Structure 1
Amino acid sequence: MTSGTSERPAAAAPTGSTAGERMTSRERLRLVLVLGFLTASGPLTVDLYLPALPAITGELMTTAASVQLTLTGMLAGLALGQLLVGPVADAVGRRTPLLAGMALHVVASVLCVIAPNIAVLGVLRVLQGLGCAAATVVAMAIVRDLFVGHAAARLLSRLMLVMGAAPILAPTVGGLVLGVTSWRGIFALLAVYGVAILLVTARLLPETLPVTARRGGSVRGTVRDYRRLLTDRVYVGLILVAGLSLSANFAYIAGSSFVFQEQYGLTEQQFGLVFGAGAIGLVGATQVNVRLLRRFAPAQILTGAVAGGAVAGLLVLLCAATGFGGMPALVVALWLVLAAAGLAVPNAPALALSRHGEAAGTAAALLGAVQFGVGAIAAPLVGVLGAGTVAMGLVITGALLAANAVLLLVVRPGRLTASTPPAATDAH
């Protein structure tokens, strides 16, 4: 990477109000709800089937590592799909790729219901990820179309309140579904959800990218945009921090069902409750972030979050390796890891996207691809290392220590802090 743009400060909010800031409270609430349910399609597709992982292992006569690869396939589809959808969304607008992606998600979910073996299920999970990618990258691009700076970070925090309901409710709902049907019923429920979101989006979400702001859709132009993004050292560092922070969550997602159900003997329903309690920490932190933004710059919050997350990760590893405090101590340590992620995840993307508003779709695509691509690596690592408490702790701690290293050595957050306007200057 060259350093030609590495010292460019994060873009400050323009003196004039943005389109999003001119929205009424009702319009903004509707936007948050629609975008929240769109972005929740990814976490919901990941988390809803978590209680069924042991059941899938048994019915399809496979291994825990093989079943975890279906999670990896979903995350890989999310990563690859965003790289493809981002430039398309900059070229033709936001709505068309979004609706096409959600339609693909619905079809893949229906086919998962009748998947005959683990190989077919894995391929269909990749297709589900490709479909969810459109929802994820377009939602992020719409945020950047309408908001910048602190306003964007605040909206992302509100967005996470809505999408955070997915990891809270999904394992519990998945456990309830398993109480009345098999794991295949979970994918039928995902298909129904996809149809509902497709209809709501088609009706309520407007196009936010004017024709005059659209970019050429040539392969050469796409390569040029990605090359420019990859030569911005600070942007690359920020998306790596976002990806590593999120990969700690994916390590928890990949390992928690086996740890709590097989090691600690929880039922599918009990696991759903424990998993949901941890997700409350993630969502609660995103809302604390809104208040913190009134006093601190996003870079300051990000620095504290990844440092605190690394300490919490070391505590998880201590509990895992020594059995200190039993399951209650482990749950508290994991809760702290998720809370740290709740502070890091809204701020790193907001800082990264503020640097490249001229290609918001492509920038959001690369951001999402890195986030889910790193997660796709973290998830099977837990299985390869043994799918136990120590394996989960090792991956979580390693990811968060790496996030700290990238933030301090590549991003250099002190320079971002110095160039970021205080929250008090925002209009609301």
Structure 2
Amino acid sequence: MPAKRSNLFIISLLGALSVISPFAIDMYLPAFEQIATELAVEPTVIALTLSSYFIGLALGQVFYGPLLDRFGRKRPLLFGLGLFVLASIGCALAPDANTLIALRFVQAIGGCVAQVASIAMVRDFFPAKDSAKVLSRLFLFIAVSPLLAPSIGWVMVAAAGWKSVFLVMAVIVGVILALIQFLLPEGHKPDTSISLKPGPIVAEYLTIIRHPRFATYAFAGALSFAGLFTYVAGSPIIFISGFRLSEGTFSIIFAVLAVGFIGASQLNVVLLRWATSETIFFSALSGQVVTALVFVAGAAAGWWGLGETLALLFVFLSCVGLTNPNASALALSPFTKNAGSASALLGFFQLGFGALISVGISAATPQDSFPIIVIFAVTAVCGLAVLLVGRRAAAVVAPEAVSTPSEPQESDDAQVASESSEETSVVSSS
């Protein structure tokens, strides 16, 4: 295989890996009503299948990093993708909602390895000078997933029912698994010096979380980001159950609102030329709070129809598109040697907070989505409170924790935020 074609094959395969979880999250959203009817539960109960997937995705972030370093890339990938395939088949055969919720957790534990490994393998197969270019291509795959996945899922649900979505997931990931096994070289030799003992791993995570800069921006950012998870889990209830829109119309709306989140994350690259990550994060989080409070007040008064709801959600998600990359950059900026562990812990908080908070969606009903709107406001307000309390301590970065003096740190933060703006759409499907 020629070198250029070989690189194209690797990038395409890594791109396919990177969208496994986004598609697993978004593709079955139009089927909520159908699944709820067949399993004889409310759509709010089916929303818990998203929460359980988010929880599995969060936990997997913490465990797969050391495994991919200790055993190489292929063995953990083959195990995780195999688990995903089996769990997907199990989801299609699930006899009740509780079984489906549990199997979605298992599916996430398996599928999480794809996202973690795809980023790691960029460093394995490409020189450092090409990493940003390759990552940008990968994130194009990811950015397209929330635009396409619900529409593809809607077509499949209309043609063959909700079970077909999970069966097709199993087939697609099975093909990817085979390509990895037979055509993808091992990019990282197993390293037996990597410790898998819980003691050293936990100690390192505790050291990271005690850093005031990490704690402030990781927690504030995670609370802001929880609004996205709440939207993803609650949108079928708001639009299909509440406004009685068709699955096809919902798919179009989901794609349009995703443009706000993705577009804002890309706008962040431009804004960083004139403002610091701290300024953008504070401004966007404040805007998110104001939007959420207006949303709650109008919903309580019964003012908002479909048009107003779409406009408010578009602004709300655009604010999240700005907060997420800057929070990530600011939280990770103090770390050099243990940047991988810090990144894994950050992902754990972002996904974990979102997963746990989105469980609150079960308090909503098809006739009343007000609890979902309240969650938007509570998480945003709590995020702003964490920032206001912690940002003074967070402004001081311990010199031993960074690789550059404190004065140029702002430009480092801006560079990481710019790169994170491309990455931020990973969990938008998230």
Aligned to 2:428: none
Which stretch of the first structure deviates more once superposed, 396-405 or 160-169?
160-169
2:211 is aligned with 1:232: yes
3-state SS of paired residue (1:421): helix
Equivalent pairs, count: 401
How far residue 244 of structure 1 moved from its aligned partner, in angstroms, is 1.6
AA matched with 1:78: L
Which stretch of the first structure deviates more once superposed, 266-275 or 312-321?
312-321
Q: Distance in 1 between matches of 2:88 and 2:304?
A: 40
Counterpart selection for 1:42 from 14, 17, 21: 21
Counterpart selection for 2:381 from 385, 389, 401: 401
Q: Distance in 2 between matches of 1:306 and 1:210?
A: 42
Tell me if structure 2 keeps the 8 A contact 1:153–1:347. Answer: no
Counterpart selection for 1:343 from 316, 322, 326: 322
Counterpart selection for 1:300 from 235, 259, 279: 279
CA separation of 1:193/1:290 partners in 2, compared to 1, >3 Å: closer, same or farther?
Answer: farther
Aligned to 1:72: 51
Q: Report the TM-score when normalising by structure 2.
A: 0.81
3-state SS of paired residue (1:215): coil
Tell me if structure 2 keeps the 8 A contact 1:295–1:424. Answer: no
Aligned to 2:303: 324
Q: Distance in 1 between matches of 2:377 and 2:5?
A: 41
2:372 is aligned with 1:382: no
Q: Distance in 1 between matches of 2:230 and 2:78?
A: 30
Aligned to 1:15: none
Q: Distance in 2 between matches of 1:28 and 1:318?
A: 53
Q: Report the TM-score when normalising by structure 1.
A: 0.81
Q: Distance in 1 between matches of 2:384 and 2:139?
A: 23
Report % sequence identity. 34
AA matched with 1:163: I
Gaps of 5+ in 2: 398-405, 420-430
How far residue 242 of structure 1 moved from its aligned partner, in angstroms, is 3.1
Aligned to 2:169: 190
Aligned to 1:367: 346
Aligned to 1:391: 371
How far residue 28 of structure 1 moved from its aligned partner, in angstroms, is 9.8
Aligned to 1:420: 410
Which stretch of the first structure deviates more once superposed, 327-336 or 190-199?
190-199
RMSD: 3.5
CA separation of 1:314/1:79 partners in 2, compared to 1, >3 Å: closer, same or farther?
Answer: same
How far residue 326 of structure 1 moved from its aligned partner, in angstroms, is 1.5
How far residue 284 of structure 1 moved from its aligned partner, in angstroms, is 1.0
Q: Distance in 1 between matches of 2:414 and 2:217?
A: 24
AA matched with 2:369: T
CA separation of 1:71/1:275 partners in 2, compared to 1, >3 Å: closer, same or farther?
Answer: same
Tell me if structure 1 keeps the 8 A contact 2:213–2:396. Answer: no
AA matched with 2:216: G
How far residue 211 of structure 1 moved from its aligned partner, in angstroms, is 6.7
Counterpart selection for 2:235 from 256, 267, 276: 256
Q: Distance in 2 between matches of 1:333 and 1:206?
A: 47
Tell me if structure 2 keeps the 8 A contact 1:285–1:342. Answer: yes
Q: For each residue in 1:84-115, what CA deviation from the matched residue of structure 2 results, as whole angstroms up to 9, or x when unmatched?
A: 22332343444443343222212211221222
Which stretch of the first structure deviates more once superposed, 96-105 or 251-260?
96-105
CA separation of 1:119/1:48 partners in 2, compared to 1, >3 Å: closer, same or farther?
Answer: same
2:42 is aligned with 1:63: yes
How far residue 281 of structure 1 moved from its aligned partner, in angstroms, is 0.8
CA separation of 1:178/1:212 partners in 2, compared to 1, >3 Å: closer, same or farther?
Answer: closer
Tell me if structure 1 keeps the 8 A contact 2:70–2:191. Answer: no
Q: For each residue in 1:272-323, what CA deviation from the matched residue of structure 2 results, as whole angstroms up to 9, or x when unmatched?
A: 1111110111111122122223333333332222222222222322342233
CA separation of 1:57/1:248 partners in 2, compared to 1, >3 Å: closer, same or farther?
Answer: same
Tell me if structure 2 keeps the 8 A contact 1:137–1:368. Answer: no
CA separation of 1:118/1:423 partners in 2, compared to 1, >3 Å: closer, same or farther?
Answer: closer
Counterpart selection for 1:410 from 383, 390, 398: 390
Aligned to 2:222: 243
How far residue 180 of structure 1 moved from its aligned partner, in angstroms, is 0.3
Aligned to 2:312: 333
Q: Distance in 1 between matches of 2:83 and 2:269?
A: 34
